């Protein structure tokens, strides 16, 4: 039952983008097309789950050595290494997705959703590796869900008649706010 609560609350109730406002830069930057949003979601999910598991054990090591003040620097180094791996794989496997993600792929290194989830897991003393993995995967799914829905809405807005002064970023922020309010409806679930 604990896993179900972690999953529902991470995806819907405490969505990492819409409730915690982490990762707004890639959320706004990569959400022009659904295909790009799905690719970014997959890359973030991979990096987030692996980084959270690796940083889970690194945190234990840092605490045992009495240097837990190095947490942020150590976590960023792990995330940067994983992003480099993802970048190399995408360049070989899917050059079109690599091109579509552009500058936002290396920016996963400093994407505060990945770092934020890793730091949150490090702060949850009751979480073991399984709970950490479920929490990271659920947050990644929530991030991907919000990003994909938002990309679909933005694609639809491109086809709609929007007043000239509201086109682009202004209507995107308004849409993101309405999407965040829609996700607030899930607050009673977990």
For the stretch 149-164, pLDDT in tens is 999 999 998 888 989 8
Q: In angstroms, rounded to a whole number, what is the distance separating the alpha carbons of residues 184 and 151?
A: 19
Q: In angstroms, rounded to a whole number, what is the distance separating the alpha carbons of residues 90 and 47?
A: 13
Q: How far is CA 98 from CA 10, 28, 36, 102, in A?
A: 28, 18, 9, 6
Q: Is 75 exposed, middle or buried (0-12, 13-18, 19+ CB in 10 A)?
A: buried
Q: Model pTM?
A: 0.87
**Those residues with Cβ within 8 angstroms of residue 20's Cβ, 6 or more apart along the chain or in another chain:** 14, 116
Q: In angstroms, rounded to a whole number, what is the distance separating the alpha carbons of residues 147 and 179?
A: 10
Contact 141, 45 (CB under 8 A): yes
How confident is the model over 14-54, as pLDDT tens digits?
999 999 988 888 888 878 889 888 888 888 888 899 999 99
For position 89, what pLDDT does the model report? 87
Determine if residue 102 is left, alpha or beta; phi over 0 gives left, psi from -120 to 50 gives alpha, anything else beta.
left
For residue 163, the tally of other CB atoms under 10 A from its CB is 8
For position 1, what pLDDT does the model report? 61
């Amino acid at each position: 039952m604990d896993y179900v609560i972690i999953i529902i609350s991470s995806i819907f109730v405490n969505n990492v983008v819409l409730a915690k406002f982490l990762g707004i830069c890639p959320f706004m930057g990569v959400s022009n097309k659904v295909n790009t949003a799905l690719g970014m979601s997959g890359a973030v999910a991979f990096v987030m789950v692996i980084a959270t598991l690796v940083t889970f054990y690194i945190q234990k090591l840092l605490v045992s050595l009495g240097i837990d003040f190095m947490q942020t620097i150590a976590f960023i180094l792990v995330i940067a290494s994983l992003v480099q791996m993802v970048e190399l794989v995408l360049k070989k496997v899917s050059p079109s997705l690599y091109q579509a993600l552009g500058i936002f792929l290396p920016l996963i290194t400093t994407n505060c959703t990945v770092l934020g989830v890793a730091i949150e897991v490090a702060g949850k003393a009751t979480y073991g590796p399984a709970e950490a993995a479920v929490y990271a995967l659920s947050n990644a799914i929530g991030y991907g869900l919000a990003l994909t829905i938002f990309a679909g809405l933005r694609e639809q807005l491109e086809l709609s008649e929007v007043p000239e002064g509201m086109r682009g970023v202004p209507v995107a922020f308004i849409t993101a706010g309405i999407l965040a309010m829609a996700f607030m409806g899930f607050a009673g679930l977990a």
